Each structure stands twice: as C-alpha cells, then as structure tokens.
Amino acid sequence: MKLAVVTRMPSFLDNFVKRFKEEGHEIDFYQEGQDTNLNNWKLKGLCDWADIIWCEFCQDPMALVTNYVKDKPIIARLWRCEIYNPRYLDSIKWDAVDLLLVATDNLKDRFLKSRKEKLEPKQTKAFYMPSVDIADFKYRDRKSSDQIKMCIVGNILPRKRQLDAVQLMLDLPDSFSLSLVGDFKDKEYVTHIQSFIKGNGLAEKIHVYGKMAHEMLPEFFGDHDVYLSMSVEETAHFAVAESMATGCYPLLNWWPGITDVYPEKFVHRRFASMTASLDKWDKLDHPSREAHSLAARAYAEKNFSADIEYKNIMEDINKILRIPNEDSAHVEVLPEKLGAV
C-alpha cells in the first residue's frame, strides 16, 4: 500500500508511520512550510503516486488535494486551529473527503455546525485518544522524597497559560518545584514569565528550559511527579498522555472537550480546586503517591497505546480501500473513572 501524507507537523504521525513501514507499506510526505509557496507540482505528483491520501490538518494543501484528486480516497484529520479559520474550511472540497477524523466530539459538533447548508465529508467521526509509544515512555519509579516536582511541556504562549502556573507557586509550600519546557513562541509572554519569577523570588523553585528534544522527554517526565495543564483549549494534548505513561499524575484545567479524552477526576475548573489537590498530594506518603503514579501508567497503557491508534487507523483505511481486515474489532477507547487526589 502507498500512502501520501500531507501535513505541516509529521511528528503527529510518528508512531503510526513507524508501524506502517514495519508492515512493508510505502509512505511519502508533503510537508507544508518546507517550500516558500504551495508547491502544486510536488503535491500533485505525490497524489498521483499514492493509493490513498492522508491530510493531517485541514489547511491550504488539503484544498488543493480535494480539488485535484478525482479517483482516490482521502482521509483527513482536523485539529483545533482550523476551526478558528473559516478560510481553511471554506476552501476545501469536503464531499471529496471519504473520512474526516476530528479530535473530540466537541470539535466534531462545532465543525458540523459550521458546515450547515454546505458540503460535508462522506463520513465524520471523533477519534478520542492521543498516541503514545508505551515502550519508549516507560514507567519510572519515583524515589521517596519530601520534594514534589511538577512540570508543563508545550509551546510557551498565552493559550497554554504557563504564567498562571508560575503564579500558583506563590500559594504552595517550598516542597514544590515547577519545570517549564517548550519553544518560546511568544517572546513577550516568556519575558513576562521570567520577570515574574525573578521579581517574586521564585528562581529557586521554577526552572524554564526552553524546547527539549522529544527523545529526552521520557527521562524528563520520569523525574517529575505531577503534570500541570493550565491551557484554555487543547485537543489531544500529547504531553499529558506521555507524562502519564511514565507515571506522572495529571492535574488539568478544564477546556472544551477535555472529558472526551481524559477522566473527569483529573479535571479542575477552579485554581482553588487544583491547589487543594496539590495540598493533598503534599500530605500523601510515598506508597500512596506511587499507587497514583501506577494508576496513571495503567490508564495510559489501556487508552493511549500507539498500537491501538495504528489498529484503528488501518481498519479505517482498509474499509475505504475495501481490503478485508484480519481483525475487524475496532478498539473503542473511552474515558473512564480513575481515582483522584
């Protein structure tokens, strides 16, 4: 099978691509942003070569694909950012899309509402879970310690509200520390964070690292106890899932659709609730903290495994190409209740 992938972020499909190639299939990429302008010749040549086209993000290249391809199946995956840019959505020939995967039920509903009285894909469904290579993100034993290490990983910008987490540190005892990892996408916002840390005597408790290579994250997460997310909106939020696989316990600020992905027990709607959970964590003994870490790992293994994602994607591809599936049982993964601090 020959698969063409059109994307601006190939890393979103790393786990799938690894398994796809291991099974002897061929794959090639058109990466948006590598060329100054949209390279029509290169994109059309890739579509001509492929048996099926996968568009990761529904943006400008997908508009060309859907208006050019006449006789080949197209699968697309829509994320958060496209919903806020009608230019992307209106330029795509949606009835040429065989299957649209949308990150959450919340986003699926918003997308379909935006297509009222307009062309829609042949099929639209939500995909629920992030994809984590469980073998790479192994569980890490935490040493017994009075110190509680928290972390946030992701581009440093206002939507992710790292500054709120920095301010939260003022209400926590000295046993807590916070690590911020991420590309400095908004230099002004980063300056505000750094100024707040320095101006409020938090330099010993908060560490800002900048961007970190993905292969370093398993060890980094394994050296931390709690993952904080203060974001106002995310989709799958891969860093949370990867941290859970190593045993980090997640505390997540509510965003639209979060309970499509993560259990309600991890979700907080007030900073006071998050602070209260951290206070409880501070009072737990080591065996109790370890039990919560193991539960986070177990949830990640059951729900976020890249093997589950691969099986479900291949089932969808085979259905569209009318290739019989060896095991047609689609792995349905839904959030479940999990003990919370």
DSSP code string of 192-216: HHHHHHHHTT-TTTEEEEE---GGG
Q: Specify the pLDDT at position 175.
A: 94
Q: Where in the sequence of the chain do the CATH 3.40.50.2000 domains occur? A: 148-302
3-state helix, strand, coil in the chain (%, to 5): 45, 15, 40
Pairing of the two strands 148-153 and 176-181: parallel
Q: Specify the pLDDT at position 125.
A: 83
Q: Specify the pLDDT at position 36.
A: 46
- CATH number for the segment(s) 148-302: 3.40.50.2000
Give the class (CATH, top level) of 2-127.
alpha beta
Q: Specify the pLDDT at position 112.
A: 86
Give the mean pLDDT of the chain. Answer: 90
List the chain pLDDT tens, one digit each, 341 residues: 999 999 988 888 999 999 999 999 999 999 876 544 567 888 899 999 999 999 998 988 999 999 999 999 999 999 888 888 888 888 899 999 999 998 788 888 888 888 777 777 888 887 757 899 999 999 999 988 889 999 999 999 999 999 999 999 999 999 999 999 999 999 999 999 999 999 999 999 999 999 999 999 999 999 999 999 999 999 888 999 999 999 999 999 999 889 988 999 999 999 999 999 999 999 999 999 999 999 999 999 999 999 998 999 999 999 998 877 665 444 544 445 445 66
Q: Specify the pLDDT at position 339.
A: 53
Q: Specify the pLDDT at position 144.
A: 85
Per the CB < 8 A criterion, the answer to whether 38 and 91 are in contact is no
Q: Specify the pLDDT at position 337.
A: 44
Q: Where in the sequence of the chain do the CATH 3.40.50.11930 domains occur? A: 2-127
Per the CB < 8 A criterion, the answer to whether 161 and 334 are in contact is no
Per the CB < 8 A criterion, the answer to whether 127 and 102 are in contact is yes
d(CA 18, CA 239): 19
d(CA 47, CA 115): 26
Over the range 316-325, which residues count as b (16 or more CB within 10 Å of their CB) and which as e? bbebbeeeee
To which residue do tokens 């010749």 refer? 41
- pLDDT tens profile 193-236: 999 999 999 999 999 999 999 999 999 999 999 999 999 999 88
Q: What are the E-state strand segments in the chain?
A: 2-7, 26-31, 52-56, 74-78, 99-102, 124-126, 148-153, 176-181, 206-210, 226-229, 249-253, 267-268
